C-alpha cells in the first residue's frame, strides 16, 4: 500500500501524498514537539518539512521506507528551526505546565519550576544543532543509539560522543546558571 501511494504521489497525485502524510503524521508531530516544545512551532516546522518532502518526492529512491525518509526531512527541518532559535533570545513568558509534572517535582514550587525550565531551555539552545538532535531523539523520544544512528546516517560512536558532549555542555551551563543565579 505504501509503495503504491509513493508511486502515485511521485506521479503528481496529491491525494496519495496526503494519505502518506496521514500515515506518518503522529510520529512526525511527536518528534517535532519534543524538539520545539510548542504546538505552534510544531505546526510551522511540519508545514515546512511537508512542503520540502513534496518538492523532494521525485528524488525518493525507495531504499528506505517513506517514514524513515520523512523522518530525515523532518529532523533536518528541526535542525534548521533550532539554528534559527539560537539567534532569538529565550522568551521570558512563563511556559505551560502539566499538573502531574508539577506534582513530580519533589516539592519545588511553581516559580522554581519556571526558572528551572527556562534555564534548561536556554542551555538547550546553546547546544549545536547536531547535539540537540541527538538529545531530543534519545532523551526526548527514547530512541536507541542504533535507531538514532540510522535516522541521522551517522555511526553509533558519533551518536554516543554527541550525546556525551551535549550532556557535559548542559551540566556546565546549568551548573554555571545555578552558581551565578542567572545565565551569564
d(CA 176, CA 32): 28
Q: Residue 88 — very low, low, confident or very high, per pLDDT cuts 50/70/90?
A: low
Say if residue 84 is in the same domain as residue 12: yes
pLDDT score for 81: 85
> Measured between alpha carbons, how far is residue 182 from residues 33, 96, 115, 127, 141 in Å?
27, 21, 10, 18, 29
pLDDT score for 181: 54
Say if residue 107 is in the same domain as residue 135: yes
Say if residue 111 is in the same domain as residue 81: no
- Residue that finishes a domain, picked among 38, 71, 88: 88
d(CA 148, CA 142): 10
> Is residue 115 over pLDDT 70?
no
Q: Give SS3 for 184.
A: coil
Say if residue 84 is in the same domain as residue 146: no
Q: Per mean pLDDT, which of 52-56, 150-154, 174-178 is the most reliable?
A: 52-56
The total number of structural domains in the chain stands at 2
Task: Specify the range with the lowest mean pLDDT, choosing from 40-49, 64-73, 154-163, 165-174.
Answer: 165-174
- pLDDT averaged over every residue in the chain: 78
Give the domain range for residue 162: 94-184
pLDDT tens, position by position, 23-71: 999 989 988 887 777 888 899 999 999 999 999 998 888 888 899 899 9
> Is residue 19 over pLDDT 90?
yes
Say if residue 98 is in the same domain as residue 184: yes
Say if residue 11 is in the same domain as residue 72: yes
Say if residue 124 is in the same domain as residue 177: yes
pLDDT score for 171: 85
d(CA 83, CA 132): 10
CATH, residue 5: 1.10.1740.10
Task: Specify the range with the lowest mean pLDDT, choosing from 45-49, 95-99, 163-167.
Answer: 95-99
Q: Residue 111 — very low, low, confident or very high, per pLDDT cuts 50/70/90?
A: low
CATH, residue 149: 1.10.10.10
Q: Rounded to two decimals, what is the model's pTM?
A: 0.57
Say if residue 123 is in the same domain as residue 79: no
- Tell me which H or E stretch contains 2: helix 2-10
- Tell me which H or E stretch contains 73: helix 66-86
Say if residue 12 is in the same domain as residue 50: yes
d(CA 50, CA 21): 8
Say if residue 44 is in the same domain as residue 114: no
Amino acid at each position: 500500500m505504501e509503495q503504491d501511494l509513493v508511486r502515485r504521489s511521485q506521479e503528481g497525485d496529491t491525494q496519495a501524498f496526503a494519505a502518506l502524510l496521514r500515515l506518518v503524521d503522529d510520529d512526525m508531530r511527536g518528534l517535532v514537539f519534543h524538539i520545539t516544545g510548542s504546538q505552534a512551532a510544531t505546526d510551522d516546522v511540519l508545514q515546512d518539512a511537508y512542503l520540502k518532502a513534496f518538492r523532494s518526492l521525485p528524488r525518493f529512491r525507495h531504499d528506505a521506507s517513506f517514514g524513515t525518509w520523512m523522518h530525515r526531512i523532518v529532523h533536518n527541518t528541526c535542525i534548521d528551526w533550532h539554528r534559527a532559535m539560537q539567534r532569538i533570545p529565550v522568551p521570558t513568558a512563563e511556559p505551560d505546565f502539566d499538573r502531574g509534572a508539577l506534582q513530580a517535582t519533589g516539592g519545588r514550587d511553581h516559580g522554581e519550576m519556571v526558572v528551572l525550565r527556562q534555564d534548561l531551555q536556554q542551555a538547550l539552545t546553546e547546544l549545536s544543532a547536531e547535539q540537540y538532535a541527538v538529545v531530543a531523539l534519545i532523551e526526548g523520544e527514547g530512541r536507541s543509539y542504533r535507531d538514532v544512528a540510522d535516522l541521522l546516517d551517522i555511526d553509533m560512536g558519533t551518536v554516543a560522543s554527541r550525546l556525551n558532549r551535549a550532556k557535559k555542555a548542559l551540566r556546565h551551563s546549568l551548573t554555571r546558571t545555578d552558581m551565578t543565579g542567572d545565565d551569564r
